[in-house]
Amino acid sequence: MNGKALGLILLGFVAGAIGVLIFHQGVLLVMHAFGLVPFAPYAFDPTPPFGVPRVLSLAFWGGVWGIVLVWFMGRVRGADRLWVAIVFGGVLPSLVGMFVVTPLKGGAITLGAAMMLRAFVINGAWGLGTALTYRAARRVAS
């Protein structure tokens, strides 16, 4: 792997983690304040199996998804638009969360419209934040 690819992976990870800490959790904060979601942002309750604080676990997985989003934005023609990042974030992580992560953790798959809309908004905000962070970092680097 060359230095440019490694730099892109690192940038994607950092952009995705920042997207979680500022945008994802920021939208969650607003939604929680208005009673739209029952769970609070910036939660430090331990997540199984390693007991990592929830917000740090989310930031890690946001970083992993950030690598995918940054790769997608750079490889697919026209995918560097912000609306694409919002749709990418709103759809892909939400579907994986509902159909892969929830069953792996022993939960039931629920497809309520309100839950899906909340997931789209929260994860779409992550996508937007990740794309904006990535764009800003690219400008600073060049």
Query: pLDDT tens-digit profile of 33-80?
Result: 999 999 999 999 999 889 999 999 999 999 999 999 999 998 898 888
Q: Which structural domain, as residue segments, surrounds residue 37?
A: 3-141
Report the pLDDT averaged over residues 15-25.
Answer: 98
Report the pLDDT averaged over residues 18-22.
Answer: 98
Q: Categorize the per-residue pLDDT at 6 as very low, low, confident or very high, splitting at 50, 70 and 90.
A: very high
Count of domains observed in the chain: 1
Per-residue pLDDT, 142:
76
pLDDT at 30 over 90: yes
Per-residue pLDDT, 118:
94
Q: How far apart are the two ends of the chain, measured CA to CA in Å?
A: 21
Positive or negative torsion for Cα 136, 26, 36, 119:
positive
Of 74, 78, 73, 115, nearest in space to 94 by CA: 115
Range in 43-47, 53-57, 105-109, 116-120 with the lowest mean pLDDT:
105-109
Per-residue pLDDT, 60:
98
Q: Where are the alpha helices (DSSP H) in 19-142?
A: 25-33, 54-75, 82-96, 102-104, 113-141
